[in-house]
Chain A
Amino acid sequence: MATITRLAWLGLYKDLQRASSEFKQFGYREFAKRRVREYFELNRKETDQQKLAALYQKGQETLKVIHRQAAIGDLFPASKLIIEQPTPAH
């Protein structure tokens, strides 16, 4: 089994973060980004190749899930939270 390169992991991380920022709803968006980060942090020390391959596979599937959920979220109107509004110029 071929090892997954560092570049591939970073690429997956970037894809996941990009996909997560597609969520219109502030809560979902921030949660997805934080959760992706947490998972990567959690498995940082993992060395078992089989587990790593499984994790990579899971990451790819999660990417699809996030894309799909973000697309579904787009179908419904979402208003921006007050903290997302641009600060008025003084």
Chain B
Amino acid sequence: MLRTALRQATRTVSAMTRLSLSTNVAATSSIRLLRPVCSQLQIQRLESVEVPGPYTPPIHLTFKVVEERVLKTIRTWDRVPQDKVDQVKMESHFVNDLGLDSLDHVELIMAFEDEFGFEIPDGDAEKLMTPQAVFQYICDREDVYE
């Protein structure tokens, strides 16, 4: 069934190309005739193919989402002291409260970069010493509004 349809289509196409060489008007009319055959074939073929769905829309960031993700990033980061994981608040200072050193701080900033998908320049990273500051920075950068 499909094979005969294909053969017919090929024949029409070859006839069409021959026609298009002779006259343009004839070619356009034969294209119009050809179109339904082609679309049916295409539909048959496309039905068997798994089409990847529409792209996932970007997540709309809100203050709450950003805050949760900032805290989650800190809690799941592997070198945060285990006894202080529960005490992580938006106001806690990375160096004074959590006892991280400058190298830890760099790695934590890298974790934020990975989480939110953009690079934080070194000059800015130096000033981000609390989750609150990181939160503020990300909200400014990503245009987050309520």
Is A46's CB within 8 Å of the partner chain B?
A: no
Tell me if B140 is interfacial: C-beta within 8 Å of chain A: no
Q: Is the interface of B mostly helix, strand, loop or mixed?
A: helix
Does B142 have its Cβ within 8 Å of any Cβ on chain A? no
Task: Give the size of the chain B interface in residues (CB under 8 angstroms).
Answer: 9
Question: Is there an interface contact between B110 and A17, defined as CB atoms closer than 8 Å?
Answer: yes
Residues of chain B within 8 A (CB-CB) of A14 are 106, 109-110, 122
Return the CB mask of B67-100 against A: 1 if under 8 Å, else 0: 0000000000000000000000000000000000
Q: Is the CB of A7 within 8 A of B122?
A: yes
Instruction: State whether A41 and B122 are in contact (beta carbons under 8 Å apart), knowing that A17-B110, A18-B110 are contacts in the complex.
Output: no
Nearest B-chain residue to A40, judged by Cβ: B103
Can you name 19 A-B pairs with beta carbons within 8 Å?
A7-B122, A7-B123, A7-B126, A10-B103, A10-B106, A10-B122, A10-B126, A11-B122, A13-B103, A13-B106, A14-B106, A14-B109, A14-B110, A17-B106, A17-B107, A17-B110, A18-B110, A37-B103, A41-B103
